Amino acid sequence: MRSFAIFDKSNPRVIGFIDHLKRRGVTDRGIKNIVSFVASQKVSQYLKQIAPSSGSIYDTDELELLKSVYEKIKIDEDNIRLHRIYSGALNRYIEFLYGKRLSTANILEQKSNNLSAIHSSGTKPELRLRHALWREGFRYRANVKRLPGSPDIVLAKYHTVIFVHGCFWHGHKDCKKYTVPKTNTEFWQAKVARNQERDQEVWRKLEGLGWAVIIVWECELEKAHLAETVDRVSEEIRRNGDIFRQNQAERRRAREEYREAQKARRAREKAHLVELKH
């Protein structure tokens, strides 16, 4: 499929868009980044995805097509930096062509709903921790869906679950990785707050089932802090295992005492019945 005309570098409007950016004081590097996306293979991929089932994209209303591409970017790009760059570039082009930018509120809400339904697994920080724990001799299962919240790491022997939280998405307080975006601030604050509420609910459910919960933050798994974090987590896992085994032993002892008491009671009742018969 050829690029749609409005995304063609040789199109006079794209050339005019470049001149417009220069007049607005955008640097050459900024212009290159914006235009390289506007006329990129990425746009062509989106066009293929949103092309009508019948007819041609050339029959589609131009502004509606731009809106569709814009929404596709906002919803599909999970990397927050990339979807800011892509959507910002396209929105500037739309503003140049039509004198008005698109509203992002509904699109961001739709993206939020999509992301809420996805539990990220196998992230780099998570894999880093998994490999380190494996080297320490711990054996585990990953992303166990039968447990509330599908914990990232489950150590059944120690009755412990571990969640590896992204600092931005879960609102790590006083962390450099958690910076609220300057645009749509209220939306992002509400999004993080909902994530934190959901986290608390999951932790309560797990603890109610007798599991010990450990939270590890993304920033704690950076190279400079990894060894310290692994030592801390390993110590906590072993301590949880000791507590779990101690609780098991106490429950076992309590069950044995109860069985002995029941056995003694039945013996007394039997002896009493024998006395009554005589």
Q: Strand 212-217 vs strand 160-165: parallel, antiparallel, or unpaired?
A: parallel
pTM: 0.55
User: Is 132 within 8 Å of 226 (Cβ atoms)?
Assistant: yes
Q: Which structural domain range is residue 160 located in?
A: 124-246
Q: Is there a domain that residue 34 lies in?
A: yes
Q: Is there a domain that residue 272 lies in?
A: no
Confidence label for 2 from pLDDT (cuts 50, 70 and 90): very low
Q: Same structural domain for residues 180 and 101?
A: no
d(CA 116, CA 109): 10
Which of helix, strand or coil describes residue 213? strand
d(CA 64, CA 278): 100
Q: Same structural domain for residues 85 and 131?
A: no
Q: Same structural domain for residues 96 and 147?
A: no
CB hemisphere CA count around 106 (13 angstroms): 6
Q: Is there a domain that residue 70 lies in?
A: yes
Phi/psi class of residue 265: alpha, beta or left (left: φ > 0; alpha: ψ in -120 to 50)?
alpha
Q: Same structural domain for residues 152 and 237?
A: yes
Q: What is the CATH number of the domain that holds 181?
A: 3.40.960.10
Number of domains in the chain: 2
Q: Is there a domain that residue 273 lies in?
A: no
d(CA 4, CA 66): 10
Q: Is there a domain that residue 100 lies in?
A: yes
pLDDT per position as a tens digit, 86-135: 566 666 666 666 565 555 444 444 444 544 444 456 788 899 999 999 99
State both tokens at 276: 């009554």
Q: Same structural domain for residues 80 and 19?
A: yes
Q: Same structural domain for residues 109 and 130?
A: no
User: Is 181 within 8 Å of 104 (Cβ atoms)?
Assistant: no
pLDDT per position as a tens digit, 252-263: 898 898 898 898
